[in-house]
Amino acid sequence: MNSQDNNSRRKFIKASGAIAGVTIIPSKSVWGACNASGVSGGSQALENVCRVSAEDDPSQNVSPTGFSAAQFNTVFTSMNKNPTPIPDAKARGIIGGMFTKTTWLDEDHSVTSPVHYEFPIFRYDGAFKITNIVGWNGSLMSTELKSDLKKLEGAKNANVSKVSESTLKAQFDASKFWHMGELFAVRSKLEDLADIDLVYVSGVGADGKANTSSINVLDELKNGSGVALNVAALYLNLKAGFCNGIPAGYNERTYCEHLLSVVLENVTDAGFASDLTAKIAGLFSNPLSIKASALLKVN
């Protein structure tokens, strides 16, 4: 988290008790609502934007599906940093777990023909594991498909790099097989969705108005820790459609900004931040896949 005022927490704790409508909540089971929207630059007094609510606990309203911060981190970091043409198998397995493949993609990541191929081709086996079907250079792996693939027109020496794209499409389309063009298209869309700043209330100034700070969701998912990392993961899960359950009156962004702000509002409770981290992290233990083509159309 980036604070614009090193003393903001101390000021917030000291001043908030005197501001109407702002409560330092002693119990972790009770949640306060404090959203930064509308107070950027100190344009609105804190008492006008902070309130107490027991309905905003993510463990109570967010569906228990989606992907953990660690899984998003694997996808973003291993696929960006791996120097070989084949990103880390775990990252490919996580992508496979996120999506049901329904169509091949062209070079522009749309869902139309012509098809652009990037090897390798792999199959998602469940539990974030994969089987490589075709290697990065078109070589066939030792799988139950190898003998059939060797018979395709253009295949030579157990290599399908010279097989026409239309023939490969006919073999693999509408299957559980993924190729690299699809994999990178999905990652690119996730990065686009995650490249957003969440602005939250970081304290209160001497004039009684809110100070704000921000985190970048994608940066947190690559390099973050603690509550900010887990709120970032919650945001991407909600935005991508892996889970749902935003309380009334919020959207994905304002809800997650509220959660970040609440941590500071309740900073006198030593266990609050770690409790929030556990509440969010505990949600994502039963992920359900969605259609990749649906995600690629998300605004």
Mean pLDDT by 10 residues, the chain (299 residues): 45 35 36 55 52 73 94 86 70 92 70 68 91 93 96 96 89 86 88 94 71 92 94 97 90 90 64 82 90 82
In a shared domain, residues 24 and 111: yes
**Beta strand 210-216 with 177-179: parallel, antiparallel or unpaired?**
unpaired
What is the model's pLDDT at position 81? 64
19-24 LR contacts (CB < 8 Å, sep 24+): 19/45, 19/46, 19/47, 19/50, 19/204, 19/208, 20/47, 21/46, 21/47, 21/48, 21/50, 21/51, 22/46, 22/47, 22/50, 22/265, 23/52, 23/265, 24/265, 24/266, 24/268
Please give the tally of structural domains in the chain.
2
| The predicted structure's pLDDT at residue 13 | 36
Helices (H), the chain: 8-16, 58-61, 69-81, 89-98, 146-150, 165-172, 180-194, 217-223, 226-240, 252-265, 272-281, 292-296
Residue 218 counted as domain residue: yes
| Nearest-angstrom CA–CA distance, 125 and 189 | 23
Residue type, 213: S
Give the pLDDT of residue 206: 72
Residue 66: which region, alpha, beta or left (left: phi > 0; alpha: psi -120 to 50)?
left
Token duo for residue 93: 């397995």
pLDDT score recorded for residue 106: 67
CA atoms of 235 and 246, how far apart (whole Å): 10
Give the residue from 156, 177, 194 where a domain finishes: 194
pLDDT at 25: 36
pLDDT at 125 (0 to 100):
93
Query: Which of 194, 229, 252 is at the close of a domain?
Result: 194
Cα separation, 161 vs 155, whole angstroms = 7
Distance separating alpha carbons of residues 209 and 270, to the nearest angstrom: 25
Kindly state whether residues 16 and 146 are assigned to the same domain: yes
Question: What is the reported pLDDT for 228?
Answer: 94
Are 210 and 78 in a shared domain? no
Q: Is the Cβ–Cβ distance between 104 and 169 less than 8 Å?
A: yes
Residue at 45 is within a domain = no
Is the peptide bond prior to 58 cis by the omega test (within 30 degrees of 0)?
no
Residues 91 and 205 in one domain: no
Does one domain contain both 91 and 150? yes
Residue 274's pLDDT is what? 77
Q: How many CB atoms lie within 10 A of CB 267?
A: 17
In this structure, are 132 and 148 located in the same domain? yes
Query: Based on the domain organization, do 132 and 202 belong to the same domain?
Result: no
Mark whether 140 and 223 lie in a shared domain.
no
Q: Which of 194, 216, 240 is the last residue of a domain?
A: 194
Residue 107 has a pLDDT of 60
Print the domain residue range for 206: 195-284
